[in-house]
Structure 1
């Protein structure tokens, strides 16, 4: 039986399976730089920038009224998996909606208000430093706006959309945060009207 996320991806993203890097696997996307590439992860200014950028992008992709789907690929032990979700949900009752597919993928239907997304984004940014060997990818799907947000770690964030026009406000507003390695491709996408 297919999950809502699989149906969403079939309907709006030609059945693309969620796995990194989203930006290179879909024609309409933006790749943002999150951390300062030259700075140590734990530097105060770098931590501030990671929090500011990841939250700003997330807030522009999701409004309070949007329907959110979360797909999480978590490859460490079951207890650690549940701790990841417990720490970031505002109410434990939300965890009752958490579904587990036979592999390492978890699904959750929720709203922006159900999760401590600031905390969750911080956990994602620190995943390579605080828990080496624990690997996870969390995809936030905006079912209302047909967009996918994937903060892959402290280095960057991919945002893809079913329609190019839905990304234009992000491109215009947060242009200076676009990852330089991919800037030419992204600029060409929005130059063609």
Structure 2
């Protein structure tokens, strides 16, 4: 199955941008941020790596989906590509790239697009990918490609979205794998949504 078709299957055919926990019910939302300023990113990378080691326990590679907003000017992506390279992330030749128009909120808004790149990387890139995701809100930090990062394990049917230094969503079609993550990392689940997760996973 083509990779792009697979991720649509994983998300039940729904477009996923941000807030996966709310858009794809039945998942988990983890609290990552602690401390102040840049230390938040370092803590988020540490905790995110521990959770993702379980998400990708049976995998040697990660299916990476990057999303970024841009105008029709193709040179907009130069900054993002340079920052990814600084993080040690090179987009391989075996990849799928496509663009989707972003609905205009106002008729006078400039045309903009959501650019997507889908490719596989070795699991050794996990920490660098998490850094790129968690550093998004800190403009002065580098490397910082300012794009959404989705990490997918096709074998287990799970997708992790480290949306910024505050948290990370894990969703997917494998209810038992999600239940194991719920039990193993219960202390890190976001308290605000804990009742929802308890109703989903506390009972067998």
Tell me the TM-score range normalised by the shorter chain: 0.7 to 0.9
1:74 paired with 2:68, answer yes
Q: What do you get for the CA RMSD once the two structures are aligned? A: 2.6
Task: Report 1:38-187 matches (<5 A).
Answer: 39-43=35-39, 46-63=40-57, 65=59, 68-75=62-69, 77-89=76-88, 92=90, 94-103=91-100, 104-113=114-123, 116-130=125-139, 135-187=146-198
Moved over 2 A (4+): 9-13, 46-49, 63-69, 84-90, 97-100, 102-109, 130-135
Give per-residue Cα distances to partners, 1:4-25, cap 9 Å, x unaligned: 23x2234343202121100011
1:189 aligned to 197, 200, 203, which one? Answer: 200
Measured in 2, the distance between the counterparts of 1:135 and 1:141 equals 19
TM-score, length of structure 1 as denominator length? 0.82
Measured in 2, the distance between the counterparts of 1:151 and 1:40 equals 18
Higher helix share: 1
CA contact (8 A) 1:88 1:117 kept: no
Aligned pair count? 184
Measured in 2, the distance between the counterparts of 1:70 and 1:47 equals 20
TM-score, length of structure 2 as denominator length? 0.78
Relative to structure 1, is the Cα distance of residues 149 and 136 closer, same or farther in structure 2, using a 3 angstrom cutoff?
same
Ranges in structure 2 where 5+ consecutive residues have no aligned partner: 71-75, 101-113
SS at match of 2:137: helix
